């Protein structure tokens, strides 16, 4: 028997027409037709919130240090706090979205994000700024994890991989424009103006979600087992060796990316003597490379080449680029290596992320049908936590060498390859595909033979838990 209020919920929640019938069964064709350009842009905007919240603030760090009379190391904690909040918040919001649907946790998180960001703009001390940057990250995590879960609700297999590549096109613009926006805001006002702009962006996204993003998780598909069930679900996901392999491989790939973000301003400007304008240009070019390769993945490769092959090729290129960077920065290839070869190596490494990141997400989410929120939370949390651990290591050897950046990137790339080969074992997917009945889709072709295995690993709520 439906719970009290459930019938009303079915009537009042905004839904995509055809998303679920009386039994909660979805009509994928209707869902895809209903997801127009506006919904795609909204999901892209949600996934762009982390780089906007982090990168727009970067040009203001010296000014914040002076304005709040705090050491630079203390102000750096405002970045760490936001990143940590985004990592941990996903563990909370993901299961909530599996229990209550996608809209309510997302709207609640966005409202808290707006409040925390507005208070950051008024913060009189570094300690208060750090505290509310942590809250900002915790709330902003709702945007990341639920955007991925919505994609899992709407798509499967190769279509999901294609949609992730489309989101990368949209969200990939954020790292390009965020520092530029931050720099222009600082020309007009002080560092507090950056948080005012972020508050306005949060308000605009909240309004768009409220008006234009329907509920995508049918009430019949929701879990209501509480914290115990959420923990059991996550344990089941982590017990799936292949899911864990894609999750950790994606986390290490993200860590290599974050090592670049953390170290590149110092490496390019201080060690190689580039101007801030040159750094901004190179940063933008690298982001464009990531976007272009992501679109090649989504438009040309997916459906023609297996996701595992595309992912493996991307990880191989990242590893080779990181190896070349280490050889150049360590002096093995000569002591007069200038900026140009380093810039080429970073461009190749960043561009290959367009193969690694969307495919690890798609392949991992294809392992589960009934816990997309929890799976998305684990994917996001692992990426942010591994990135948070790896990024401080890039400065471990001081300010006169770029070797630590290259070492961290190569170590992360090798770890990603080991997880992909040792845990995911992609050659077994091909064997499974050959053993299937003719016409049955497989992970080798882009959908997931392991979907049932992933579902089995994630227990459905029991009556005794409800």
Tell me the DSSP string of 407-438.
HHHHHHHHHHHHHIIIII-HHHHHHHHHHSPT
Q: Where do the domains of the chain lie, and which CATH numbers do they carry? A: 36-221 (1.20.1250.20), 226-426 (1.20.1250.20)
pLDDT in the model for residue 112: 96
Q: How many CB atoms lie within 10 A of CB 463?
A: 6
How far is Cα 242 from Cα 425, in angstroms, rounded to an integer? 8
3-class secondary-structure state, position 8: helix
Distances (CA, A) of 202 to 57, 336, 379: 15, 47, 23
Cβ 423 vs Cβ 248: under 8 Å: yes
Cβ 182 vs Cβ 190: under 8 Å: no
Burial class (CB in 10 A: 0-12, 13-18, 19+), 249: buried
Residues 6 or more apart in contact with residue 266 via CB below 8 angstroms: 395, 399
- For residue range 5-52, list pLDDT tens digits in order: 444 443 333 333 333 333 333 444 444 445 567 888 888 889 888 878
Give the single-character DSSP code of 270: I
Among candidate residues 290, 82, 259, 255, the one with its CA nearest the CA of residue 167? 290
| Start-to-end Cα distance in the chain | 13
E strands, 154-218, in order: none
pLDDT in the model for residue 77: 80
In the chain, which residues have pLDDT < 50?
A: 1-33, 433-466
What token pair was written down for 391? 């990024």
Residues 6 or more apart in contact with residue 366 via CB below 8 angstroms: 156, 157, 160, 443, 447, 448, 450, 451, 454
Cβ 394 vs Cβ 263: under 8 Å: yes
pLDDT in the model for residue 74: 81
Identify any residues that bridge with 415 across adjacent strands, giving them in sequence order: none
pLDDT in the model for residue 449: 42
Identify any residues that bridge with 363 across adjacent strands, giving them in sequence order: none
> What pTM was estimated for this model as a whole?
0.69
């Amino acid at each position: 028997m439906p719970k009290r209020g459930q019938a009303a919920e079915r009537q009042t929640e905004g839904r995509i027409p055809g998303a679920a019938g009386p039994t909660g069964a979805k009509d994928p064709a209707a869902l895809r037709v209903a997801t127009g350009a506006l919904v795609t842009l909204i999901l892209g905007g949600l996934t762009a919130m982390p780089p906007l919240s982090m990168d727009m603030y970067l040009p203001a760090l010296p000014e914040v240090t002076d304005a709040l009379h705090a050491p630079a190391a203390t102000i750096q904690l405002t970045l760490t706090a936001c990143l940590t909040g985004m990592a941990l918040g996903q563990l909370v919001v993901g299961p909530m979205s599996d229990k209550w649907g996608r809209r309510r946790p997302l709207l609640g998180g966005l409202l808290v994000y707006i409040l925390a960001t507005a208070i950051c703009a008024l913060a009189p001390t570094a300690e208060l700024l750090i505290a509310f940057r942590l809250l900002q990250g915790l709330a902003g995590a709702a945007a990341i994890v639920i955007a991925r879960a919505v994609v899992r609700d709407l798509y499967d297999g190769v279509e999901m991989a294609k949609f992730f590549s489309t989101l990368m096109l949209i969200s990939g613009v954020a790292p390009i424009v965020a520092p530029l926006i931050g720099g222009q805001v600082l020309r007009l006002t002080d560092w507090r103006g950056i948080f005012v702009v972020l508050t306005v962006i949060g308000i605009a996204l909240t309004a768009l979600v409220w008006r234009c993003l329907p509920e995508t998780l049918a009430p019949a598909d929701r879990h209501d087992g509480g914290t115990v069930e959420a923990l059991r679900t996550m344990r089941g996901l982590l017990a799936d060796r292949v899911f864990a392999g894609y999750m950790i491989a994606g986390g290490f790939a993200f860590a290599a990316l974050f090592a670049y973000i953390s170290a590149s301003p110092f490496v390019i400007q201080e060690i190689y003597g580039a101007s801030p304008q040159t750094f901004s240009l190179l940063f933008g070019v690298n982001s464009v490379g990531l976007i272009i390769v992501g679109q090649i993945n989504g438009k040309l490769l997916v459906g023609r080449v297996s996701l595992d092959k595309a992912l493996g090729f991307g990880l191989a290129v990242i590893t080779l680029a990181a190896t070349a960077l280490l050889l150049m920065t360590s002096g093995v290839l000569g002591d007069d290596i200038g900026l140009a070869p380093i810039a080429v190596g970073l461009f190749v490494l960043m561009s290959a992320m367009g193969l690694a990141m969307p495919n690890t997400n798609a392949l991992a989410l294809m392992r589960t049908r009934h816990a997309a929120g929890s799976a998305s939370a684990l994917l996001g949390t692992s990426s942010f936590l591994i990135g948070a651990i790896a990024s401080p290591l890039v400065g471990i050897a001081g300010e006169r060498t770029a070797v630590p950046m290259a070492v961290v990137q190569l170590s992360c790339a090798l770890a990603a390859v080991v997880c992909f080969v040792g845990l995911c074992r992609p050659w077994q997917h091909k064997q499974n595909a050959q053993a299937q009945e003719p016409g049955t889709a497989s992970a080798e072709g882009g959908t997931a033979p392991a979907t049932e295995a992933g579902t089995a690993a994630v227990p459905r709520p029991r009556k005794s838990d409800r």
